[in-house]
Amino acid sequence: MPVNSKWLQVIVDEDEPRPRLNTVTSCMTLCDIKCDNYVRLIVADISLEDEPTATLKIFRGTALHTELKLNGIPAAIQSFYSEESEPKTPVVAVAIAESVLFYRNLKPYFKYTVPGIEAEEAEADLWRKLPTVRVEQQPALVQSLKTMERPKLSRKSQKLIQLPQEEQNEFILKYMDATVMRHANIVALSCLQRISSDPNPPSHLVIATDNGDILVLEPQSFGLIYQAKTCAYETVPSMIAVHGTYETDFRIVIATRYGGVYLLRKSIKEGQEIFKISHPFTGLMLLPVDQTITVCAMDCRLVCYSKKGKQLYVNKLSAVPICMIPITLPHLGLTLCCVALEGGLVQLYLQRYLVNEFHMVSTIGAMCFGRTGHEDYVLTMVGVEGEVFVKILKRTAGFDPSELLALKGNSENKVMVETILEKSKKSSIFVEQAAREKQNAKATYGAFQAELWRLRYVAARATVDAINSSESTISGDITHAPVKLTAEICGVGPEFRLYLTIQNMSSYKMASNLTVLLHADRRHYTINKSLAKLPSILPGMPLKIDFEIVAVLDPNDKLPPHTLTIDNSQIRVMLLKARQTKPLIAAVIAMPQSEANI
């Protein structure tokens, strides 16, 4: 079997124009931007001829669908969802200089600018003098600006020192009242999910700037909710990788231009250096399973480190790595590391083991993996000469480390095959614990069962307390819109109709993501549909739904069974909010006595 048979090559018709792109991995993303369940490729095409320009291009398949002109060279783009309510419309974020441009439905939606930084005192003092001195003295002050560090100057100072001398006085008079402030440029973007239970949850945008700031924005208002520093001294990030959720805990790994890698957590405002290398980075990954950090650099090595900075393994690459991306395969429970090497070789690693590789006709300069169109696992690659290649992963493809190594067939690889499934050695503590459990098997089993029943008891008691504390017809949660529930039973039996009316008591909030759950004793009542998801409820517009409830009768005399009492002839109605364990409303409805089924 060929080594690259796990992938299907997408062939473009000769009559169809072939796209040519000049981009990097950080400027590629995938997004269902039209909300039609067709995922499109979004690329920032950068042209460096004559005057540098950039265009945001949206592809449907391999055909160009839409172009949007950008007013600068982007550093990164990201797509994410900003709302919880359906239908969810994705937002595309484009980082240019100190601003992030948000596009929604292919139209400009919002613009965020990173917080300003106070200028140097010497620069501010020069701007106070420039409008007051004579025109003949201005060149000397402008020359003083030129002696300062260019990156630490404000934008208007950088513009002033580039102008000819005859235009400088006009520029000074025009901008003399403008604030002397500089802004850091954005160098990297990533997304941090708010929660993980929803398939498409709202995500926070994570921004890294060239002065070492890490910013996290709120998904709906795009306001700043978290700010931290990469390290104690000023350094320039180059790549970031994010894992976790904002509501619980998250980790941000930052790779800098000087070879340092820093780890930032939610609870701290300053990153910790975990390791440092002496060569420039070309790729950074934070694996979600064991949270190990994988990096590739210009020294032709693929290195994996633990969160504490311990080197776990090193893979020597055959050529210089150009870019690296993670390939997540949920159906296999794997996350692969895809590395594009100089010369056109693309390799896939499962931890330290090479599981797949294939050759392209030219060196790959940018890659993107994910759902594209209607296919789940699509690898899109852009060559350094502008060609676009698309490969689709076969549904039957598997990644066994021993498969590729056996095909290569040399002695070194055979040794690796034998050690892939080698089990770790048992510690002395484990051996002693196992011996104690064998000697006291009965007592160990009894203690385990006692703890298990205690856990079940605590869980059941907590469930009952949560339901009892919510027994009311009006929700008491002040963080959401107050909701009122009323119920009405119709019928004489054995078939009843339960009508529920849910009313939004708020004057301006919308009640959304609600679910009604009915619970009854199955020995006495049958409910065909006990769960119903509710649409969004607007203020002043009550929603009415109904359920069919059938009383269980004795098959002999067609009468209610003798076990039916006042305590168990009840229907419990619970109004639930998505991603909340406690019901908003828990009401008990006493059922009337059912008549005989004649």
Structural domain including 533 reads 483-590
Question: How confident is the model at residue 414, as a pLDDT?
Answer: 44
Same domain, 174 and 237: no
**CA gap 298, 277 in Å, rounded:** 10
Higher pLDDT: 467 or 106? It is 106
User: Is 291 in a helix, a strand, or coil?
Assistant: coil
Binned at pLDDT 50, 70 and 90, residue 407 comes out as low
Binned at pLDDT 50, 70 and 90, residue 235 comes out as confident
Domain total of the chain: 5
Q: Is the pLDDT of residue 488 over 90?
A: no
End-of-domain residue from the set 163, 182, 201 = 182
pLDDT at 402: 67
CA 109, CA 547: separation in Å to the nearest integer? Answer: 43
Two tokens, residue 258: 């000087």
357, 3 contact by CB (below 8 A): yes
| 596 domain-assigned | no
Same domain, 220 and 105: yes
Residue 542 sits at φ, ψ, to 5 deg, of -65, 150
Between CA 324 and CA 338 the distance in angstroms is 6
- pLDDT of 420 reads 44
Highest mean pLDDT among 145-154, 172-181, 355-364, 551-560: 355-364
Least Cα distance to 573 among 448, 459, 489 occurs for 489
Same domain, 312 and 302: yes
The CATH number of the domain holding residue 308 is 2.130.10.10
Looking at residue 76, its pLDDT comes to 93
User: Looking at the predicted structure, is the pLDDT value of residue 360 above 70?
Assistant: yes
Selected residue with higher pLDDT from 54 and 588: 54
Examine the pLDDT at 207 and tell me if it is beyond 80. Answer: yes
* Distance separating alpha carbons of residues 513 and 220, to the nearest angstrom: 17
Dump pLDDT digits (tens) for 408-450.
554 444 444 444 444 556 677 877 888 888 888 888 888 888 9
Asked if 234 and 303 sit in the same domain, the reply is: no
Q: Which two tokens stand for residue 277?
A: 């290398």
pLDDT single digits (tens) 323-354: 999 998 888 888 899 999 999 999 999 888 88
Contact status, residue 204 vs residue 246, Cβ threshold 8 Å: yes
Residue 476, domain member (yes or no): no
Range in 20-34, 70-84, 109-123 the model is least confident about? 109-123
Measuring CA to CA, how many Å separate 114 from each of 182, 270, 513? 10, 18, 33
What does the alpha-carbon distance between residue 316 and residue 304 come to, in Å, rounded to a whole number?
12
What is 483-518 written as a DSSP string?
A: EEEEEEEE-SSSEEEEEEEEEE--SSPPB-SEEEEE
Cβ–Cβ < 8 Å for 366, 318: no
Q: In this structure, how many other beta carbons lie within 10 angstroms of the beta carbon of residue 186?
A: 27
Kindly state whether residues 372 and 516 are assigned to the same domain. no
CATH, residue 506: 2.60.40.10
**Do you know the residue count of the chain?**
598
Q: Which residue has the higher pLDDT, 469 or 347?
A: 347
pLDDT given at position 418:
42
Please check whether residue 194 is in contact with residue 204, taking contact to mean a CB–CB distance below 8 angstroms: yes
Residues 212 and 235 in one domain: yes
Residue 43's DSSP bridge partners are: 28, 57
Considering the domain boundaries, does residue 477 fall inside one?
no
